[in-house]
Amino acid sequence: MRLFLLIIGIYTTSEINLLAAEAGMPQLDPTYWASQTFWLILIFTTLYLTLSNLFIPKIKDNIDSRENKIKDDLDEAQKLKNLAEQKLREYELSIENAKKEVQKIIFESKNKLNLEIQNKKREFEKEIEIEIANAEEEIVNLKQDSLKDISIISEEMASKVIEQISGEPMNQSSVKAAILETTKNNLGKYL
Amino acid sequence: MATNPMHQFEVHRIGPEIKLAGIDLSFTNASLFMFFSAAAICAILFLGTKEKKLIPDKFQLIAEMFYNFIAKMISDTAGSKAKPYFPFIFSLFMFVLFCNMLGMLPYSFTVTSHIIVTLLMAIFIFIAVTIIGFLKHGFGYLKLFVPSGVPLILLPLITVIEIISYLSRPVSLSVRLFANMMAGHTMLKVFGGFVISLGMLGGWLPLGFSVALTGLEILVAFLQAYVFAILTCIYLNDALNLHH
């Protein structure tokens, strides 16, 4: 509180001093007005001419060249981006083409393989048929041969049996005829 | 004498007395700080344009920031027609800003705290804008004082008000900058004086104020330069794009 009062007291005294000093404001003393006018005009004109002819064009040039550089870089980046996108499209297109080709190749080779398999199959079937035909012929031959053998053996056996039983040989041709007849009747049952 | 807060605004001669046709044109501390400001601007812009880098270094960034700041301000307030006046407004803003900022250094002199300096700049801008207005629109520029869509009874009154407001432009423009600079520096000096007079015991509070005021004054220094430049742009806009 005492400090506060002290400050107020000093402030009021200095305010009086201030007002007293303001009576003699050096700004209103005209002694050096002409000098200030002269030097202000001289120095400000020099400053203006220096700035407008030397420094301002330089600064403007700097700023402009930077802006141009940035713009050029952006344009370049855009160009490169477009180029990259085009390349990507080309690449995708070539991949797609390659895929199509692969599918075509697969399809073709499948067809070819199928055809070959079919041909081989047919050939084998033909061969098998020939083999079967041969085998059947052989079987028929064998059947006939065996039929002949059977009739000869049965004739002999029949004549021997008759000889044993009757004690005298039978007429060969009648035995043969009887055997032939029985064979005809019963052979179908066994062969 | 040293505790007088107005002492810092005194102009004194440096070097020999230069008299031309009976008028005293001696080199003073005011001239010295005008020269320092111009030299500082040139030095920063020289360092900022020395190398032309794609990625700017610190000084180049500062120079380009100033350039873009002023360019945006002009195009926002006065449109594309004001482009030929860019170098002038750029120089004006830089000069006022650097004079204000150099004035923030201890023991330095604030050029813009003198009414004669700010008044000269304001009168130059006023005359130049008026000439540009008449060159662009001929006597049609006088339509600026006669706003459209005003009732006929009010028209004479409005016109008188418009003329007075137009004529007071250089005064308001110069006094705003001058008064802000003078008041700020006087305040700093007063609080600085308090620190000494209150000593180790009570001097801490005004010291704190002094620190805060320094920050505020730096803001004001920038702000007043900005206001000075943007008002110039607005006046230029009136002259270039007549809206009435």
Note the pLDDT tens digit of each residue in B207-228.
888 899 999 999 999 999 999 9
Say if CB B147 and CB B163 are below 8 A apart.
no
Q: CB B9 to CB A47 under 8 A?
A: no
Nearest to B89 by CA among B234, B244, B219: B234
Query: Which of A60-69, B16-25, B70-79, B153-162 is least confident?
Result: B16-25
Task: Report whether pLDDT(B128) > 90.
Answer: yes
> Which of A1, A35, A73 is the best mutation test for B, with the most CBs of B within 10 A?
A35
Surface of B (174-193) touching A: CB under 8 A: 178, 182, 186, 190, 193
Per-residue pLDDT, A15: 52
Q: What is the ipTM of this complex?
A: 0.88
Q: CB B190 to CB A18 under 8 A?
A: yes
Say if CB B41 and CB B110 are below 8 A apart.
no
Q: CB B35 to CB A43 under 8 A?
A: yes
Q: CB of B159 within 8 Å of any CB in chain A?
A: no
Per-residue pLDDT, B100: 92
Per-residue pLDDT, A91: 96
Nearest to B197 by CA among A7, A22, A156: A7
What is the least distance, in Å, from the CA of A16 to any CA of chain B? 12
Q: CB of B94 within 8 Å of any CB in chain A?
A: yes
Q: What average pLDDT is seen over chain B?
A: 87
Per-residue pLDDT, A163: 82
- Tokens standing for residue B61: 């960034």
- pLDDT, one tens digit per residue, over A86-127 is 999 999 999 999 999 999 999 999 999 999 999 999 999 999
Q: What is the mean pLDDT of residues B144-165?
A: 86
Per-residue pLDDT, A22: 47
All residues of chain B having their beta carbon less than 8 Å from the beta carbon of residue A7 are 194, 198, 202, 205-206
* pTM (2 d.p.): 0.71
Helix (H, G, I), strand (E, B) or coil at B59: helix
Per-residue pLDDT, A161: 84
Q: CB A48 to CB B42 under 8 A?
A: no
Q: Which residues of chain A fall short of a pLDDT of 70? A: 1-23, 187-191
Helix (H, G, I), strand (E, B) or coil at B13: strand
- Tokens standing for residue B42: 């040139």
Query: Which of A84-93, B14-23, B137-146, B187-196 is least confident?
Result: B14-23
Q: CB of A1 within 8 Å of any CB in chain B?
A: no
Name the pLDDT band for B22 (thresholds 50, 70, 90). Answer: confident
Per-residue pLDDT, B232: 93
All residues of chain B having their beta carbon less than 8 Å from the beta carbon of residue A9 are none
Q: CB A47 to CB B120 under 8 A?
A: no
Cross-chain CB nearest to B95 (options A7, A10, A47): A47
Per-residue pLDDT, A90: 95
Q: CB B28 to CB A39 under 8 A?
A: yes
Neighbours of B19 (CB within 10 A): 11
Per-residue pLDDT, A112: 95
Q: What is the mean pLDDT of residues B94-115?
A: 90
Cross-chain CB nearest to B6 (options A3, A26, A63): A26
Q: CB A47 to CB B91 under 8 A?
A: yes
- pLDDT, one tens digit per residue, over B180-202 is 998 998 888 888 888 888 878 88
The Cα–Cα gap between B85 and B235 comes to 12
